[in-house]
Amino acid sequence: GKPPMLLFSCAVSSAQAPASVPPNDWAHTVKLNNGVAMPLISLGTWQYSPAVAESTVRLGLSLGYNHIDAALDYKNQRSVGKALAEHDRASYFLTTKVPSRTSASSAFADTSKDLAADLEQLGLSYVDLMLVHFPPVGNTLHCAAMQEQWRALETFYRAKKARAIGVSNYCQSSLRCIARAANVTPAVNQIKYHIGVGLAWSACSRRRCVFVTLEHSSQAWGPTRSGCAATATGSASSRRPTRRSETGQASSSAARS
């Protein structure tokens, strides 16, 4: 069958301008399982101070990037929101995330608070894609909590506060856990995947986990390992992302969300 689309999240430094892309380039997108079009390349904000996150997002948007990747745990979303506020909401695609929860009794309420915090910090009434950032430590030992957390995302989605919902760093067992109780199928599984990742991948024991259930789009973070283009030994050589990926192929030189 047709291989799934691999989507790349890219990190750039505000000190080194990223490669420009055509303004508002919505031509290079993938259609998610609910019909929402998601740009193939996103601009990541992980490990950035608030000031650097703001300047980087502002620079990226000015150069034509139209997909920004954020997260509650990055602790810089207010600054990301300041940069986003300078642009029309329809001109960009925003992905953000909530952390995992381990208590089944409080996972729904705690996640609902985190979802509200994402919107408040970003200054938005909705996001384009909301993800669970990672499964809890112990994975499916906390399956009930994972299911309750997913129920909170479904409620958020039905309230039209997210155009699509998904997960991040989930392996097959995690996906199967939430699938047993889900009413909405995850649209995306954002995972660590890069050239040379090998079989001992951190989120799954087999590389084939990337291709688990073709109804999910697999989005790769860190496609060149360390956040910038790397040599065979992993040394940094560039922070200029390529602007697109191809179906089932790893072909980016930026990277980390």
- For the annotated catalytic residues, the residue numbers are 74
Q: Tokens 């050589």 label which residue?
A: 237
Q: 3-state DSSP: the chain helix, strand, coil percent, rounded to 5?
A: 30, 20, 50
- For residues 59 and 16, give the distance between their C-alpha atoms in angstroms, rounded to a whole number: 10
Task: Provide the token pair at 147.
Answer: 């299911």
Q: Three-state DSSP class for 9?
A: strand
- 222-to-46, 138, 204, 230 alpha-carbon distances in Å: 11, 23, 15, 11
Q: Which amino acid is at 137?
A: V
Contacts of 65 (CB under 8 A, 6+ apart): 18, 21, 41, 42, 43
- For residues 198 and 205, give the distance between their C-alpha atoms in angstroms, rounded to a whole number: 10
Report the relative pairing of strands 254-255 and 217-221 from DSSP bridges.
unpaired
Contacts of 99 (CB under 8 A, 6+ apart): 72, 73, 114, 133, 134
